[in-house]
């Protein structure tokens, strides 16, 4: 009993500190596909919401999209980590990201007593985008603007927004967007307290091949130096850049943590030690 009491007392100052604050949390596709991990994360998110925090969820889902493409006889193709997206692939993205995956998360939150609403970046003109390298990539874009009014309204009404990373350009074309970048841009626009990128790796590693070299804390200059030294590579590179960008634009701290760990969000937010890597200003 004393141990349980000490855990609650340790959490209290963090609950007080983050009460009423927006937390933008990106769920990687690899986590969503693991049913038990997804269920655990949904429980944790509802708990955070019940103690007064305001989580906003952005999700990936690349594995599911690739499987659906193969069912349609389409071979997934990537250029520098970006999925080549023609009109048929964009339709699959709408069905998988904006449909099945989004609704699985919404249902998971609501089964645990949360009030959630699934949207894509197309709803309420939430995410404005523009095409990049159209001849090579097709309907792939970068974020050009965020209109956070819809999300602010949902958060104020105690909903947990669940957002699929699809935007639209000025011609009305839907565009496939990087979920890490969307999360960072949204965190900045909402004036979030934190950006948390939940992935399936421990965090930023000094040696990318050795999980025992986890770096617990980084300032923005230190993070930029790591990128310059080419120690950050692969899928970690856009995550690190997204964290730097949002911290430079007003978000207090950004975190990259292993969402496969049991109650990862609770450990990161409500304990002194935390897990993963935290990026903050110098």
Exposed, middle or buried: residue 155 (CB in 10 Å: 0-12, 13-18, 19+)?
middle
Is 252:193 a contact under the CB 8 Å cutoff? yes
CA 267, CA 192: separation in Å to the nearest integer? 19
Look up residue 26 and give its two tokens: 């990106």
Instruction: Kindly give the residue spans of alpha helices, DSSP state H, lying in 19-166.
Output: 29-32, 35-50, 62-71, 87-95, 102-111, 134-137, 149-156
Residues in the chain, how many? 282
CA 43, CA 173: separation in Å to the nearest integer? 36
Q: Cβ neighbours of residue 125 under 8 Å, at least 6 residues apart?
A: 147, 168
CA 256, CA 275: separation in Å to the nearest integer? 9
Active site residues: 26, 29, 62, 180, 239
DSSP H/E element including 253 = strand 253-258
State the DSSP code for 140.
Answer: B
For residue 95, the tally of other CB atoms under 10 A from its CB is 14
Q: Cβ neighbours of residue 17 under 8 Å, at least 6 residues apart?
A: none
């Amino acid at each position: 009993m004393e141990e349980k009491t000490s855990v609650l007392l340790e959490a209290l100052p963090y609950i007080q500190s983050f009460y009423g604050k927006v937390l933008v949390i990106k769920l990687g596709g690899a986590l969503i596909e693991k049913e038990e991990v997804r269920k655990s994360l949904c429980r944790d998110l509802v708990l955070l919401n019940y103690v007064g925090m305001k989580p906003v969820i952005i999700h990936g889902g690349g594995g599911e999209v690739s499987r659906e493409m193969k069912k349609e006889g389409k071979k997934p193709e990537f250029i520098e980590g970006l999925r080549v997206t023609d009109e048929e692939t964009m339709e699959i993205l709408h069905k998988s990201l904006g449909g099945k995956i989004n609704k699985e998360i919404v249902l998971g939150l609501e089964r645990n007593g949360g009030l959630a609403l699934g949207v894509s970046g197309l709803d309420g003109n939430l995410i404005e985008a523009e095409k990049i390298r159209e001849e090579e990539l097709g309907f792939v874009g970068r974020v050009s603007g965020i209109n956070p009014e819809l999300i602010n309204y949902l958060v104020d009404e105690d909903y947990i927004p669940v957002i699929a990373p699809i935007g639209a350009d000025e011609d009305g074309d839907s565009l496939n967007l990087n979920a890490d970048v969307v999360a960072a841009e949204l965190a900045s626009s909402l004036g979030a307290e934190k950006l948390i990128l939940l992935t399936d790796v421990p965090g930023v590693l000094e040696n990318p091949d050795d999980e025992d070299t986890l770096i617990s804390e980084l300032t923005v200059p230190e993070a930029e130096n790591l990128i310059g030294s080419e120690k950050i590579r692969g899928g970690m590179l856009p995550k690190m850049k997204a964290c730097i960008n949002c911290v430079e634009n007003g978000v207090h701290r950004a975190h990259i943590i292993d969402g496969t760990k049991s109650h990862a969000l609770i450990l990161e937010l409500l304990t002194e030690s935390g897990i993963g890597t935290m990026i903050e200003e110098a």
